[in-house]
Amino acid sequence: MGDRFTRVLNITPNAILLLEHRDGKDTTRLIPANTFNTLKYVMKGSFEDMVGRSHTRIHIGDNCLISPTTQEYVFCLEYDGMLVHTTPEADKQVCEAILKAYSEQDFKPFIKLFDDLYSKRQKSEFLELFMIALGQRVVSATIDGLNGYVVDKEFFVAQNGNAYRILPPDDSKDAKTVSSNLAFLCIVPRNHQIKPMNLMYNNVRIALGQQEQIFISKIMMLLNREKYKGDKVFWGQVNRK
């Protein structure tokens, strides 16, 4: 059997051109320029025989590391001793960042991506703990494909900021069986409730943007709805029987 090798001929933002030598014959192959292929073929020395293996740290430099996971488009990034997992949606950014670090020793894109993902994770943890602190009146739930929280077993606020009243199921014989019925509530938080807010959580500065502020404000308004009886539009919706 002849010698076998694979060499990278060209790299573009979207594709990697390979030269494959098998048994004395050369062929070219175009593959997607994703993170997995970049690690496997461009950084081949670091990623040799890594298919299917996880949690093996690959040193890129300047305290920047990346590890494969059991999912092809999810990686563990490490910077300065801290860890965060990427998402499939961020694969192009991850690919560009590690390629920049490997080929140009420019670690700024990697560090910025890490900081963004880490801050996002800390924000999610903060919001989850905040909801837990509200007590048993607020329960995490997924209804009709929407993730959010049920308030007092009567209302549902989705993470996208929309609020709903949970209607009782229709038990009539002609009704179709559904998991739940949601009636949209037009709740409008006041301006002072949705100002941008910067917080420190686990020594990381997180910014609660408008969507998070609206999400939290609607939950708090429903929890404290008795205080808003003077708001006829709001009270007319939430007090409807």
Long-range contacts of 89-95 (CB under 8 A, 24+ apart): 90/117, 91/34, 91/35, 92/34, 94/35, 94/66, 95/33, 95/34, 95/35, 95/38
Q: Of 210, 203, 216, nearest to 122 (Cα)? A: 203
pLDDT at 85: 94
Q: Which residues pair with 156 in a beta bridge?
A: 150, 164
Tally Cβ neighbours within 10 Å of residue 113: 20
Answer for the pair 149, 141: CB distance below 8 angstroms, yes or no: yes
- H helix or E strand, kind and range, residue 28: strand 25-32
Answer for the pair 159, 128: CB distance below 8 angstroms, yes or no: no
Answer for the pair 158, 145: CB distance below 8 angstroms, yes or no: no
**Pair of tokens at residue 52:** 């299917």
User: Cα–Cα distance between 24 and 35 in angstroms, integer?
Assistant: 30
Where in the chain are the domains? 1-33, 35-121, 134-170+180-238
pLDDT at 233: 82
User: Cα–Cα distance between 146 and 162 in angstroms, integer?
Assistant: 10
Walk along the chain (241 residues) and give the pLDDT tens digit of each residue.
Answer: 457 888 899 988 889 999 988 888 999 999 998 888 888 888 765 555 555 455 577 888 888 999 888 888 899 999 988 999 999 999 999 999 998 998 899 999 999 999 999 988 888 888 899 899 999 999 999 998 889 999 999 999 998 889 999 987 765 555 444 445 888 998 888 765 666 678 888 887 888 888 888 899 899 999 999 988 888 888 888 887 6
Q: How long, in residues, is the chain?
A: 241
**Pair of tokens at residue 126:** 């903060």
**Pair of tokens at residue 42:** 């461009």
**Pair of tokens at residue 121:** 């994770």
pLDDT at 178: 44
